[in-house]
Chain A
């Protein structure tokens, strides 16, 4: 008879919780009394992955910081839907100043706390891809370069969604937005433009850079905890599907994230001091179509003339799989 390692737990750590898990194996989100830092009544759209990711990140950070956490927020969906005057959906101390300066505000808070001898209070800054990759990049880069004691979290939904779905420099190639319509010989967002914020962060050689998605709660909580255990500048980049901007069903936000990772489109990595230290291997290989087809912003890829663009997406996935060894062929 084959011998096996027995503690097999039905869903293991793939689900949020599980009655068969030991206490220490349970996620923060599975606790009935979790902080729920972003509480009910916020005005995010149905199925908003940014709202979900923000609660996951913040709850883990609040626990890791023993409730002593201050949050600075850039302008964007997250700020707009959570704080409609005079209401706030945030439980931790939370500040919003302007679009471009969340990293600078966080730096100031950290410096002030340090001057007061309150290094026990931790600082987190957050924003969308617009506030991070485009408008706030200078402040973010400065915060990285000075190695300020801030965890910066970018929720990347790949566009300016709350102002009407305009392209950002995180919008992927071929994606249809209000400013990159699906017309002409190269429909959608132009090929060869845009930036990879995780790579930019790694180039600053800051202590910790990681990527995560809402398709893997354990991984995301682990990365937030790791980041909170380090002092200095840290960066976490979370892919957050936007049902409105991506033209997808509100129920599919997690499924799309899973397809992004399992197709090789979104590599889930960890880096320390500029060096790649960990890569999450693909568990069930999926084709890029499983990621692209449910999204109306890519509908033109599946019409006559879309073949070249679809091939480019396949090539992108292949390149990531090769570059990050996502199938574990080299390890």
Chain B
């Protein structure tokens, strides 16, 4: 074709075209990639809850509450209980704490738990029946968590409990002003309705017989036996175990404690005992602790609440003798390594009752003639991955085994034991989980989060509290729970704020619609990094392009 027979071009050598023909993606040296990271709250949650997930559903308001609760109970069947008694390590690690105040996760958990009880939401029914039988020894948080998870996996589960009522330390160790019994009873019976059978006053005494009857056994007897120290004491002295006082109160047989009570110890049980003593009529409740406040094992909020109710604490003190109603207290001092030593200085303290709260031991009578189950440090030793004891098919979780003695930890370990039992029954190995990548605060662009302080739960007036066992903390209403949930920054997980989509100078991101998130068009993405930089929650990585 020559210039003369070509079609007329009207002065243009070629027709108009669109820039879409030019793929600017070839310029890229780094590519943005959406990632899903683990938030610090979930990493800190001993129960392994998907906190970000259930807060996300709660953010939608009433229509999202049930979905939120279902996500929550997939890990923890006790949201109304744990929403009250958990020491919420999740909140201590919450990234929002760096911005203003941490999200009140625990209060929202309680709101969802209470809403589920009010609405009568039921736990899901197992989808299969395996026909395998598992015995759980003890019905505390570890036992019931294991039983529930095993039931969800289709196994037939029997829980045998030595005490008259199920719940373990949740029932007999935690006072009603922190955990109303009705709430506990409802959450336990909801687990029973999934098919878990709980037999009370049914102590297990023969492990061999139990193993013949069941395909696997999970030991969750807890640590309900008071630890003892030797204190020289006269016959007229009244020395009791704090855990027994708590148990008697929980069983409806409150003991007489007198006007002045001394509690010996510095853990949460000591705090519960002192606060309970105040409620039983003691005008003066003194906690005697041999170390300092910084070294105290009790949770700081427990100590705060106790002091708020008029409990006094005598730091750096040991009880060296009890004679009648007079305690001899020795002052202690710390050495360079922080260990307390006696100073030889003594003083006297009057007390009608002395409550010992110096630790609790596991009741291991069941294992006395079982040589292949190894006990050391007073607890049953287990394989850290499978939680199996030295005996094939026998697992242990909760306070009877090593680890933190909190209900949330027990729930997490119970669930883990269930997973391990399930794998054992199927002769499978538990697959190793990849190490999680944490969504750290430095990845976040906090500018985009609206300013909002935490919605504090109201507290009953301290003066009102000590008159009875009514609940101390009140819950959030729906409005405040939604508000609190919306304070969640969704660390490390896209919540569809549209920043990447709206801020791409190259129009190279596609929005896929509600719940579907986005897709990067690498034909045009130049890799400038604005999307990653401006992503509020740090859910985009920039990865070097490999030639």
Stretch of B108-116, B329-337, B505-513 with 4 or more beta carbons under 8 angstroms from chain A: B505-513
From A13, which residue of chain B is reached at the shortest CB distance? B450
Stretch of A14-22, A63-71, A101-109, A150-158 with 4 or more beta carbons under 8 angstroms from chain B: A14-22
Which of A29, A46, A48, A252 has the most chain B CB within a 10 Å cutoff? A46
Given A8-B483, A15-B498, A38-B507, is A88 in contact with B19 using a C-beta cutoff of 8 Å? yes
Tell me the smallest distance from the CB of B136 to a CB of chain A, in Å: 40
Stretch of A49-57, A124-132, A308-316 with 4 or more beta carbons under 8 angstroms from chain B: A49-57
Bound together, the chains give a CA A51 to CA B504 distance in angstroms of 9
When the two chains form their complex, are residues A1 and B458 in contact, meaning their CB atoms are under 8 A apart?
yes
Within 8 A of B (CB), among A145-176: none
When the two chains form their complex, are residues A30 and B498 in contact, meaning their CB atoms are under 8 A apart?
yes
Task: Convert B496-534 into 0s and 1s, putting 1 for each residue whose CB lies closer than 8 angstroms to a CB of A.
Answer: 111101111111101111100000010110111110111
> A44 — which chain B residues lie within 8 A by C-beta?
505-506
Bound together, the chains give a CA A249 to CA B510 distance in angstroms of 24
> A32 — which chain B residues lie within 8 A by C-beta?
510-513
Given A41-B22, A52-B503, is A18 in contact with B17 using a C-beta cutoff of 8 Å? no
When the two chains form their complex, are residues A252 and B533 in contact, meaning their CB atoms are under 8 A apart?
yes
B326 contacts the other chain (CB 8 A): no
Bound together, the chains give a CA A89 to CA B508 distance in angstroms of 13
B121 contacts the other chain (CB 8 A): no
Tell me the smallest distance from the CB of B491 to a CB of chain A, in Å: 12
Bound together, the chains give a CA A224 to CA B422 distance in angstroms of 62
B292 contacts the other chain (CB 8 A): no
Tell me the smallest distance from the CB of A328 to a CB of chain B, in Å: 15
Tell me the smallest distance from the CB of B505 to a CB of chain A, in Å: 4
Bound together, the chains give a CA A105 to CA B362 distance in angstroms of 89
Bound together, the chains give a CA A252 to CA B445 distance in angstroms of 12
Bound together, the chains give a CA A27 to CA B498 distance in angstroms of 10
When the two chains form their complex, are residues B455 and A254 in contact, meaning their CB atoms are under 8 A apart?
no
> A2 — which chain B residues lie within 8 A by C-beta?
455-456
Bound together, the chains give a CA A132 to CA B202 distance in angstroms of 89
B14 contacts the other chain (CB 8 A): yes
When the two chains form their complex, are residues A43 and B501 in contact, meaning their CB atoms are under 8 A apart?
no
Tell me the smallest distance from the CB of B503 to a CB of chain A, in Å: 6
Tell me the smallest distance from the CB of B230 to a CB of chain A, in Å: 49
> B503 — which chain A residues lie within 8 A by C-beta?
16, 29, 52, 214, 217, 254
Instruction: Say which residue of B19, B448, B529 sits within 8 Å of A89 (CB atoms).
Output: B19
> B498 — which chain A residues lie within 8 A by C-beta?
15-18, 27, 29-30
When the two chains form their complex, are residues B529 and A11 in contact, meaning their CB atoms are under 8 A apart?
no
A86 contacts the other chain (CB 8 A): yes
Tell me the smallest distance from the CB of A31 to a CB of chain B, in Å: 8
B435 contacts the other chain (CB 8 A): no
From B516, which residue of chain A is reached at the shortest CB distance? A32
Bound together, the chains give a CA A273 to CA B217 distance in angstroms of 84
B21 contacts the other chain (CB 8 A): yes
> B24 — which chain A residues lie within 8 A by C-beta?
40-43
Bound together, the chains give a CA A82 to CA B18 distance in angstroms of 10
Bound together, the chains give a CA A39 to CA B448 distance in angstroms of 26
Bound together, the chains give a CA A182 to CA B15 distance in angstroms of 46
Given A10-B495, A19-B514, is A1 in contact with B502 using a C-beta cutoff of 8 Å? no
When the two chains form their complex, are residues A11 and B450 in contact, meaning their CB atoms are under 8 A apart?
yes
Instruction: Say which residue of B458, B502, B507 sits within 8 Å of A217 (CB atoms).
Output: B502
From B488, which residue of chain A is reached at the shortest CB distance? A10
A183 contacts the other chain (CB 8 A): no
Bound together, the chains give a CA A172 to CA B524 distance in angstroms of 33
When the two chains form their complex, are residues B499 and A40 in contact, meaning their CB atoms are under 8 A apart?
no
Given A17-B502, A86-B12, A253-B530, is A41 in contact with B18 using a C-beta cutoff of 8 Å? yes
A234 contacts the other chain (CB 8 A): no
> B23 — which chain A residues lie within 8 A by C-beta?
41
Which of B20, B508, B534 has the most chain A CB within a 10 Å cutoff? B534
When the two chains form their complex, are residues B17 and A55 in contact, meaning their CB atoms are under 8 A apart?
no
Bound together, the chains give a CA A271 to CA B457 distance in angstroms of 46
Bound together, the chains give a CA A84 to CA B23 distance in angstroms of 13
Tell me the smallest distance from the CB of A38 to a CB of chain B, in Å: 7
From A54, which residue of chain B is reached at the shortest CB distance? B505
B181 contacts the other chain (CB 8 A): no
Bound together, the chains give a CA A42 to CA B448 distance in angstroms of 29
Tell me the smallest distance from the CB of A53 to a CB of chain B, in Å: 9
Tell me the smallest distance from the CB of A54 to a CB of chain B, in Å: 9
When the two chains form their complex, are residues B16 and A88 in contact, meaning their CB atoms are under 8 A apart?
yes
Instruction: Say which residue of B18, B487, B513 sits within 8 Å of A39 (CB atoms).
Output: B18
> B346 — which chain A residues lie within 8 A by C-beta?
none
A9 contacts the other chain (CB 8 A): yes
When the two chains form their complex, are residues A1 and B456 in contact, meaning their CB atoms are under 8 A apart?
yes
Bound together, the chains give a CA A84 to CA B487 distance in angstroms of 47
Given A38-B507, A251-B529, is A8 in contact with B486 using a C-beta cutoff of 8 Å? yes
When the two chains form their complex, are residues A47 and B530 in contact, meaning their CB atoms are under 8 A apart?
yes
When the two chains form their complex, are residues A11 and B449 in contact, meaning their CB atoms are under 8 A apart?
yes
Bound together, the chains give a CA A210 to CA B82 distance in angstroms of 54
> A16 — which chain B residues lie within 8 A by C-beta?
497-499, 501-503
When the two chains form their complex, are residues B20 and A15 in contact, meaning their CB atoms are under 8 A apart?
no
B479 contacts the other chain (CB 8 A): yes
When the two chains form their complex, are residues A9 and B486 in contact, meaning their CB atoms are under 8 A apart?
yes
A255 contacts the other chain (CB 8 A): yes
When the two chains form their complex, are residues A41 and B528 in contact, meaning their CB atoms are under 8 A apart?
no
Bound together, the chains give a CA A253 to CA B532 distance in angstroms of 12
A179 contacts the other chain (CB 8 A): no
Bound together, the chains give a CA A330 to CA B79 distance in angstroms of 50
From A262, which residue of chain B is reached at the shortest CB distance? B447
When the two chains form their complex, are residues A10 and B513 in contact, meaning their CB atoms are under 8 A apart?
no
Bound together, the chains give a CA A249 to CA B521 distance in angstroms of 22
Bound together, the chains give a CA A66 to CA B190 distance in angstroms of 58
> B480 — which chain A residues lie within 8 A by C-beta?
1, 4, 6
When the two chains form their complex, are residues B447 and A14 in contact, meaning their CB atoms are under 8 A apart?
yes
A24 contacts the other chain (CB 8 A): no
B536 contacts the other chain (CB 8 A): yes
A36 contacts the other chain (CB 8 A): yes
B452 contacts the other chain (CB 8 A): yes
A87 contacts the other chain (CB 8 A): yes
> B243 — which chain A residues lie within 8 A by C-beta?
none
When the two chains form their complex, are residues B447 and A87 in contact, meaning their CB atoms are under 8 A apart?
no
Given A16-B501, A36-B507, A49-B505, is A86 in contact with B15 using a C-beta cutoff of 8 Å? yes
Within 8 A of B (CB), among A246-283: 249-255, 258
Within 8 A of A (CB), among B10-61: 12-24, 27, 59-60
Bound together, the chains give a CA A10 to CA B521 distance in angstroms of 28
Bound together, the chains give a CA A217 to CA B497 distance in angstroms of 13
Which of B447, B457, B506 has the most chain A CB within a 10 Å cutoff? B506
Task: Convert A75-118 into 0s and 1s, putting 1 for each residue whose CB lies closer than 8 angstroms to a CB of B.
Answer: 00000001010111100000000000000000000000000000
A12 contacts the other chain (CB 8 A): yes
Instruction: Say which residue of B22, B488, B501, B527 sits within 8 Å of A17 (CB atoms).
Output: B501
> A30 — which chain B residues lie within 8 A by C-beta?
498, 501-502, 511
Bound together, the chains give a CA A86 to CA B503 distance in angstroms of 27
B482 contacts the other chain (CB 8 A): yes
When the two chains form their complex, are residues A250 and B449 in contact, meaning their CB atoms are under 8 A apart?
no
Per CB-CB distance, the 9 closest pairs between chain A and chain B, nearest first, are: A17-B498, A16-B502, A251-B529, A41-B19, A47-B528, A29-B502, A89-B19, A46-B528, A15-B497
**Known pairs A10-B497, A16-B497. 18 more at Cβ < 8 A?**
A20-B60, A27-B502, A30-B498, A30-B501, A32-B513, A39-B20, A40-B19, A41-B524, A46-B27, A46-B527, A47-B505, A51-B505, A55-B505, A86-B16, A87-B19, A87-B22, A88-B19, A255-B534
Pairs A–B under 8 Å by Cβ, sample size 22 = A1-B455, A6-B480, A6-B482, A9-B486, A10-B449, A10-B450, A11-B536, A15-B448, A15-B499, A16-B501, A16-B503, A18-B496, A19-B514, A38-B507, A41-B23, A43-B22, A47-B529, A87-B18, A89-B18, A217-B502, A251-B528, A254-B534
